[in-house]
């Protein structure tokens, strides 16, 4: 291979449906892409082919999976495809995949869509696509936070059941071993045992024990986004015991 030329790869996919409806063959895609890559000064190092594969998602396409691995390993500098839907027909998959190429510093060229990051306008398109990806993540995050906040304000459980509880009909109820929580709090409050030994005694990690000892859920409350809200579930502890444990814990942890 000529060492002074950047390396490019080609990805081509054609489903059985495409061939029947449009007569788009792999060889036709390959020839057009190879000629374009060479014209732009690249040397084609590999052709990745997924024949007879659907474009609905990328999981069922072994060649594309290998391409992504090779891109992350920096085995080439540019990817050429015939059309964006050859990569994926899922907008979410498409945006996420193109964003990965950007992170890996791999130029991206879609022949029919006139999208390529080897030029200033192409780089701008890359930034726009990345912005859409960030926008989608932020919208999803906001929706999740809003939904969880609504559940918290309504006093409903928003996470998995902590030690001592179980979930039935989307509600927290005391579990079979709810008494263990009371035991842990009393044990911690009335003895000089270390957090490490206490955690081992109850089969917890030290961090897990700390979460149990500071969990407002045991007071019948829900903590979300810095706020403590009254829940609908039955408390397992009295506020007196809980507060005494908090005072002792603060002294130990400084």
Evaluate the CA torsion angle 102, 105, 110, 116 in order and state its sign.
positive
Q: Which of 15, 88, 110, 199 is flagged as catalytic? A: 15
CB-side neighbour CA atoms (13 Å) of 49:
11
Long-range contact pairs involving 171-180 (C-beta distance under 8 Å, separation at least 24): 171/232, 171/233, 172/217, 172/231, 172/232, 172/233, 172/234, 173/233, 173/234, 174/234, 174/236, 178/236
15 flagged as catalytic: yes
Contact 230, 155 (CB under 8 A): yes
Residues assigned a catalytic role? 15
């Amino acid at each position: 291979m000529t060492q002074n030329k950047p390396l490019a790869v080609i990805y081509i996919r054609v489903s059985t449906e495409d061939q029947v409806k449009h007569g788009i063959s792999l060889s036709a895609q390959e020839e057009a892409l190879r000629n374009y890559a060479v014209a732009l000064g690249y040397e084609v190092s590999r052709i990745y082919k997924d024949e007879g594969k659907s474009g609905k998602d990328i999981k069922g396409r072994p060649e594309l999976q290998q391409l992504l691995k090779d891109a992350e390993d920096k085995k080439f500098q540019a990817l050429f495809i015939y059309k964006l839907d050859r990569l994926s027909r899922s907008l979410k998959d498409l945006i996420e995949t193109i964003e990965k190429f950007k992170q890996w510093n791999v130029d991206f060229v879609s022949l029919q869509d006139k999208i390529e990051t080897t030029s200033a306008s192409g780089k701008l398109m890359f930034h726009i696509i990345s912005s859409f990806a960030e926008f989608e993540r932020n919208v999803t995050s906001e929706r999740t936070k809003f939904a969880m906040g609504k559940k918290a304000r309504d006093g409903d459980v928003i996470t998995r059941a902590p030690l001592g509880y179980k979930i039935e009909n989307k509600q927290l109820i005391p579990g079979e071993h709810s008494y263990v929580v009371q035991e842990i709090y009393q044990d911690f409050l009335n003895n000089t045992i270390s957090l490490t030994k206490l955690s081992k005694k109850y089969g917890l990690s030290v961090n897990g024990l700390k979460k149990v000892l500071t969990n407002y859920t045991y007071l019948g409350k829900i903590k979300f986004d810095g706020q403590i809200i009254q829940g609908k579930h039955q408390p397992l502890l009295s506020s007196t015991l809980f507060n005494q444990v908090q005072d002792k814990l603060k002294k130990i942890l400084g």
